[in-house]
Structure 1
Amino acid sequence: MSRDSHTSKRTLELCDDDSFFIYDCSKAERKPQEDKGEEGQTLYKGSDNILASTFSRSGNYFALTDDNKRLILFCTKPWKCLSIRTVVRRCTSLIFTATDEKILVADKSGDVYSFSVLAPCQGGKLELGHLSMLLDVAMSPDDRYILTADRDEKIRVSLFAAPHNIESFCLGHTEFVSRIFVVPNHPDLLLSTSGDCTLRLWEYKVGKELQCFHLNKLRNPEATPFEKNFAVSRITYCCQENCIAILCDCIPVIYIFQLEGTKKQLIYKQQLTFNHRVWDIAFEEMQGLWILQECREVPVLLYHLENGQWQPVSKHEVLKKISNNLHENWTMMEGGSPGMDDSFSSLYKTTFDNMTNYLKKKEERVQQQLEKKKRRKNP
Structure 2
Amino acid sequence: MSVPYQCITRCGESLIAARGSSIDTFDPESGSLISTWEVPSPHGPRLVRSNSEHVSIGSRAQKSESPEVFVDRLSSPAKRRKLVTEDAAKKPTWSKRTSRQEEGLKKSNERSDAIASGLQTPAVILLEATRNGSHVVAVTGEDKTIRVFQYDMDGGIDRLKQLSQRIMPKRPCAIAVTADNSTIISADKFGDVYSLPLLISETEDGSIQPAIPTPAPETSTKPFAPAANALTVHSQRNRKALENQKRQTNRPAEKTERTFEHNLLLGHVSMLTDLALVNLRGRDYILTADRDEHIRVSRGIPQAHIIEGFCLGHTEFVSRLCVPENRPGVLISGGGEEELFVWDWVKGAELSRAGLGELVADVRHKLGGDAVKYATTETVKFAISGITHVSPLENDGFEDLIVVACEGIPAIFVFHLTPENQLQHTQTLMVPGNVLDISKGAVAGFVMLSIDFAHTPGSMTERREPASETIGSLQSFLVQGGQLLSSNINFQCATDVVEGAIISTNMLYGLQNLRKRDGD
TM over 0.5: yes
Which residue number corresponds to residue 154 of structure 1? 294
Specify every segment of 5 or more residues in structure 1 that has no aligned partner in the other structure, as ranges.
Answer: 35-42, 353-379
Look up the SS of the partner of 2:505 in the other structure. coil
- Which has the larger share of strand? 1
Aligned equivalents of 1:278, 1:330: Cα separation in 2: 21
Moved more, 242-251 or 90-99: 242-251
One-letter code aligned to 2:474: V
Partners of 1:112 and 1:128 within 8 A in 2: yes
Which residue number corresponds to residue 430 of structure 2? 273
- 2:390 pairs with one of 220, 235, 238: 238
Q: After the TM superposition, which parts of structure 1 deviate over 4 Å for at least 4 consecutive aligned residues? A: 15-19, 28-31, 43-47, 219-223, 334-337, 339-342
Specify every segment of 5 or more residues in structure 2 that has no aligned partner in the other structure, as ranges.
Answer: 9-17, 43-68, 80-110, 116-120, 154-159, 202-210, 212-259, 366-371, 393-398, 454-469
Q: How much does 1:179 deviate?
A: 0.6
- 2:77 pairs with one of 15, 32, 35: 32
Q: Deviations over 1:95-118 (max 9, x none)?
A: 001111101111011100111014
Which residue number corresponds to residue 333 of structure 2? 192
Partners of 1:9 and 1:336 within 8 A in 2: no
What aligned pairs does 1:92-241 form with structure 2 within 5 A after superposition? Answer: 92-119=173-200, 122-141=260-279, 144-160=284-300, 161-219=302-360, 221=362, 223-224=364-365, 227=376, 228-240=380-392, 241=399
Aligned equivalents of 1:181, 1:20: Cα separation in 2: 30
Partners of 1:249 and 1:340 within 8 A in 2: no
Distance change (3 Å), C-alpha of 1:141 and 1:23: farther
One-letter code aligned to 2:314: H
Q: How much does 1:197 deviate?
A: 2.3
Aligned equivalents of 2:163, 2:384: Cα separation in 1: 32
- 1:77 pairs with one of 152, 160, 168: 152
The TM-score normalised by the length of structure 2 is 0.59
Moved more, 213-222 or 131-140: 213-222
> Percent of aligned positions with the same letter in both sequences?
29
One-letter code aligned to 2:22: R
Partners of 2:333 and 2:340 within 8 A in 1: yes
Q: How much does 1:251 deviate?
A: 1.5
Distance change (3 Å), C-alpha of 1:308 and 1:133: closer
Aligned equivalents of 2:33, 2:22: Cα separation in 1: 16
Look up the SS of the partner of 1:218 in the other structure. helix
Partners of 1:104 and 1:115 within 8 A in 2: yes
Which residue number corresponds to residue 291 of structure 1? 449
Which residue number corresponds to residue 134 of structure 2? 60
Aligned equivalents of 2:167, 2:403: Cα separation in 1: 33
What aligned pairs does 1:325-340 form with structure 2 within 5 A after superposition? Answer: 325-326=493-494, 328-329=495-496, 331=498, 335=502, 337-338=504-505
Aligned equivalents of 1:342, 1:220: Cα separation in 2: 20
Aligned equivalents of 1:340, 1:216: Cα separation in 2: 25
Q: How much does 1:168 deviate?
A: 0.9
Which residue number corresponds to residue 377 of structure 1? none
Q: How much does 1:331 deviate?
A: 4.8
- 1:10 pairs with one of 22, 26, 48: 22
Distance change (3 Å), C-alpha of 1:65 and 1:339: closer
Partners of 1:85 and 1:123 within 8 A in 2: no
Q: Deviations over 1:336-374 (max 9, x none)?
A: 55259941122112126xxxxxxxxxxxxxxxxxxxxxx
Distance change (3 Å), C-alpha of 1:141 and 1:337: farther
| Number of aligned residues | 336
Aligned equivalents of 1:341, 1:117: Cα separation in 2: 27
Which residue number corresponds to residue 232 of structure 2? none
Look up the SS of the partner of 1:286 in the other structure. coil
Look up the SS of the partner of 2:492 in the other structure. helix
One-letter code aligned to 1:81: Q
Higher relative contact order (CA 8 A, sep 6+): 2
Distance change (3 Å), C-alpha of 1:11 and 1:141: farther
Moved more, 20-29 or 124-133: 20-29
Q: How much does 1:125 deviate?
A: 1.1
Aligned equivalents of 1:336, 1:100: Cα separation in 2: 35
Partners of 1:33 and 1:69 within 8 A in 2: no
Q: Deviations over 1:153-194 (max 9, x none)?
A: 100000013122111101111111101112111000111111
Larger CA Rg, structure 1 vs 2: 2
Which residue number corresponds to residue 89 of structure 2? none
One-letter code aligned to 2:264: L
Q: How much does 1:210 deviate?
A: 0.6
The TM-score normalised by the length of structure 1 is 0.79
Q: How much does 1:222 deviate?
A: 7.4
Q: How much does 1:144 deviate?
A: 0.7
Q: How much does 1:306 deviate?
A: 4.3
Which residue number corresponds to residue 515 of structure 2? 348
Which residue number corresponds to residue 376 of structure 1? none
Partners of 1:237 and 1:243 within 8 A in 2: yes
Partners of 2:33 and 2:492 within 8 A in 1: no
Aligned equivalents of 1:299, 1:15: Cα separation in 2: 15
